Amino acid sequence: MSREFNVPPVIFPSGGNPNTGPQRRLPTAPFQPPRSSNPSIPFMSFDIGSSPASTSFATPQFGSIGSGSANFDDEPPLLEELGINTKQIWNKTVSILNPFRVKADLHEDADLSGPFLFLMAFGLFQLLAGKLHFGIILGWVTVASLFLYIVFNMLAGRNGNLDLYRCLSLIGYCLLPIVILSAVALFVPQGGLVIFIMMGIFVIWSTRVCTRLLVELASCGDEHRGLIAYACFLIYMLFSLLVVF
């Protein structure tokens, strides 16, 4: 026995013609940007094969080692660029070491490089003696400079021309005998008569040098020499007490 299957009819959307269906679109060429009119710029042309072999960019030229060293030889030293004149500091230090022939013209240009070295040396010698006085020394120098600045300008009146910067420089440089005292005191017994005699000598040394520099560098100071010397004596006596006690 044979069975018959009912097959539903096939209906084509184009009116019964199976060959007519949705048309397939032909593939189009990919987008190519336009070529640059200037052939000297290869990166504006996206055609890699058409870029020239050599570009128009100049190769950077580097100087030779000899010319670079010559330029460094012409530059000033680092200390001079920082404003530290070692020769001037040395000359000022030598002038302080001779209390009878002090050259005041060397101290017309005030600086703080030499005083800072002396203060650090003073603190180092005190540290070797078992005394930590770095902060005390810096604080006392600042207060002493303000004290001497006020006293001198009050004595000189309106004609006083001593500024605080120069006052701080002079006090720092004239502290050199006290620094020497702190170094010598490391080898002298504390509490004896010798250390007190040495303290008096070095205090008078610092007082004489500082008074002479203040009188010669600042105007209207000669007539008040005794009062200025007394103020300087108090300042350096105070620092000497740090060494003895």
| Statement: residue 99 has pLDDT above 60 | yes
Give the per-residue pLDDT at 233: 96
- C-alpha distances (whole Å) from 42 to each of 32, 45, 54, 58 are 16, 5, 10, 15
Residue type at 64 in one-letter notation: S
Task: Tell me how far apart the alpha carbons of residues 113 and 85 are, in angstroms, rounded to a whole number.
Answer: 8
Task: Tell me how far apart the alpha carbons of residues 220 and 215 are, in angstroms, rounded to a whole number.
Answer: 8
Per the model's pLDDT, the better-predicted residue between 37 and 155 turns out to be 155
Kindly state the percentage of the chain with pLDDT values over 90. Answer: 46
Which string of DSSP letters, residue by residue, matches 163-186?
Answer: -HHHHHHHHHHTTHHHHHHHHHGG
Task: Tell me how far apart the alpha carbons of residues 243 and 137 are, in angstroms, rounded to a whole number.
Answer: 11
| Statement: residue 224 has pLDDT above 90 | no
| Statement: residue 162 has pLDDT above 80 | yes
| Statement: residue 8 has pLDDT above 60 | yes
Determine the distance from the C-alpha atom of residue 153 to the mean position of all C-alpha atoms in its chain, rounded to a whole number: 33
